[in-house]
């Protein structure tokens, strides 16, 4: 009989505890906040405006989420929490200001027709002076910071391609000079310059194709390690490197012609010489 009474009291206390917990509002916390504060689902936390806990309110951790990766915030620690609007007003509202519950800093609006963005922005700013309305999509007028970054990367890519092409041309000229006597003997045998250039073209095509494929495979093999390192470094889920099919095809389409052209230029400077000058020691 005593054991039955103890079990009944324990069950009653658990029901009361569960009911009390259910009355506490729920909150979602970011993964970074959960790891830093060692929070788990079901924990009870107090959220306040300051470290002293003034006007703090208790919440129950209902879940842990991964913040949406944002390139503009990848260096910032995402110590964030999501709660219902009435709970947010209770925590962040100013009791002395009766209008504080109705005050907001920003509102996100999704238009039915994205083409009406400029007209909508102009209408809002004309009706409410002091309010700035702009689109969160990538701008096409050059003011988008990511568009500027794309152009900067494109300029760096052009400089890199020209520099690597000059280096490759120098290597091919040196390689052709090493084969000077071989080319001279081949020409003395009677093989025409056109046949030699064709052989150089095929050889350059094979070497350039192999090099381009190796570069693409190397990029595919290392992009995971690069992403994991920077994601660990900045504690974010943002993807820093992604080798797509388009990027791979563009790289091959650019590398193969440049490799062939460098081989032809290096060999042509050798084939223009006199046969006697080629075989002379």
Taking only the tens place, the pLDDT of each residue in 256-269 is: 888 888 777 777 76
Domain count, the chain: 3
Residues 167 and 235 in one domain: yes
Q: State the CB neighbour count (10 A cutoff) for residue 80.
A: 13
Query: Residue 21 above 80 pLDDT?
Result: no
Copy the structure tokens of residue 102.
Answer: 């109705």
Residues 269 and 175 in one domain: yes
Torsion angle of C-alpha atoms 247, 249, 250, 254, degrees rounded to 10: 140
User: Given pLDDT bands bounded at 50, 70 and 90, which one contains residue 108?
Assistant: confident
End residue of a domain, out of 88, 105, 122? 105
Copy the structure tokens of residue 70.
Answer: 């944002």
Copy the structure tokens of residue 99.
Answer: 């209008």
End residue of a domain, out of 53, 84, 105? 105
Find the domain containing 124 and state its range.
107-137
Instruction: Report yes or no: 81 and 47 within 8 Å, Cβ to Cβ.
Output: yes
Q: Spell out the residues 6+ positions from residue 254 whose beta carbon is closer than 8 angstroms to its own.
A: 161
Residues 176-194: tens digit of each pLDDT? 777 767 766 766 777 777 7
Q: How far is Cα 134 from Cα 124, in angstroms, rounded to an integer?
A: 10
Residues 251 and 274 in one domain: yes
**This prediction's pTM:** 0.60
User: Given pLDDT bands bounded at 50, 70 and 90, which one contains residue 3?
Assistant: very low
End residue of a domain, out of 137, 155, 190? 137
Residues 218-253: tens digit of each pLDDT? 999 999 999 999 988 888 888 888 888 888 888 888
Residues 132 and 39 in one domain: no
- Which alpha helices (H) appear in 23-144, and where do they start and end? 31-37, 85-92, 117-127
Residues 119-168: tens digit of each pLDDT? 888 888 888 877 888 777 665 555 566 677 778 888 888 888 888 878 87
- Dihedral pair phi/psi, residue 77, rounded to 5°: -75, 125
7 vs 21, more confident: 21
Residues 83 and 121 in one domain: no
Residues 171 and 221 in one domain: yes
Residues 44 and 111 in one domain: no
Instruction: Report yes or no: 77 and 86 within 8 Å, Cβ to Cβ.
Output: no
Rounded mean pLDDT of 17-26?
64
- pLDDT of 14: 37
Tell me the residue ranges of DSSP E strands in 148-241.
none
User: Given pLDDT bands bounded at 50, 70 and 90, which one contains residue 41?
Assistant: very high
Query: Residue 216 above 50 pLDDT?
Result: yes
Share of the chain above pLDDT 70, in %: 77
Residues 123 and 215 in one domain: no
- pLDDT of 100: 63
Query: Residue 276 above 80 pLDDT?
Result: no
β 81-82/44-47 pair status: unpaired
CA 185 to chain centre: 55
DSSP class of 114: G
- pLDDT of 260: 80
Length of the chain: 281
Coil, helix or strand at residue 32: helix
């Amino acid at each position: 009989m005593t054991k039955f009474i103890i079990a009944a009291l324990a069950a009653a206390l658990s029901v009361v505890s569960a009911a009390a917990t259910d009355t506490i509002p729920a909150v979602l916390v970011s993964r970074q906040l959960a790891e830093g504060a060692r929070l788990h689902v079901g924990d009870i936390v107090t959220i306040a405006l300051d470290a002293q806990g003034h006007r703090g309110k208790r919440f129950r951790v209902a879940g842990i989420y991964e913040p949406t990766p944002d390139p503009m915030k990848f260096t910032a620690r995402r110590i964030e929490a999501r709660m219902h609007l009435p709970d947010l007003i209770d925590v962040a509202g100013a009791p002395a200001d009766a209008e504080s519950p109705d005050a907001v800093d920003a509102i996100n609006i999704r238009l039915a027709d994205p083409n009406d963005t400029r007209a909508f922005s102009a209408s809002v700013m004309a009706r409410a002076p002091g309010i700035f309305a702009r689109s969160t999509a990538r701008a096409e007028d050059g003011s988008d910071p990511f568009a500027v970054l794309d152009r900067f990367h494109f300029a760096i890519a052009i400089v890199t391609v020209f520099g690597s092409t000059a280096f490759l041309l120098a290597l091919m000229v040196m390689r052709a000079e090493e084969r000077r006597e071989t080319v001279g003997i081949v020409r003395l045998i009677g093989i025409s310059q056109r046949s030699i250039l064709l052989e150089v073209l095929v050889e350059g095509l094979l070497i350039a194709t192999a090099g381009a494929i190796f570069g693409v495979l190397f990029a595919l093999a290392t992009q995971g390690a690069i992403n994991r390192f920077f994601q660990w470094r900045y504690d974010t889920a943002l993807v820093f490197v992604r080798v797509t099919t388009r990027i791979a095809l563009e790289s091959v389409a650019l590398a193969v012609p440049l490799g062939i052209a460098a081989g032809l230029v290096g060999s042509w400077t050798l084939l223009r010489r006199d046969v006697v000058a080629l075989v002379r020691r």
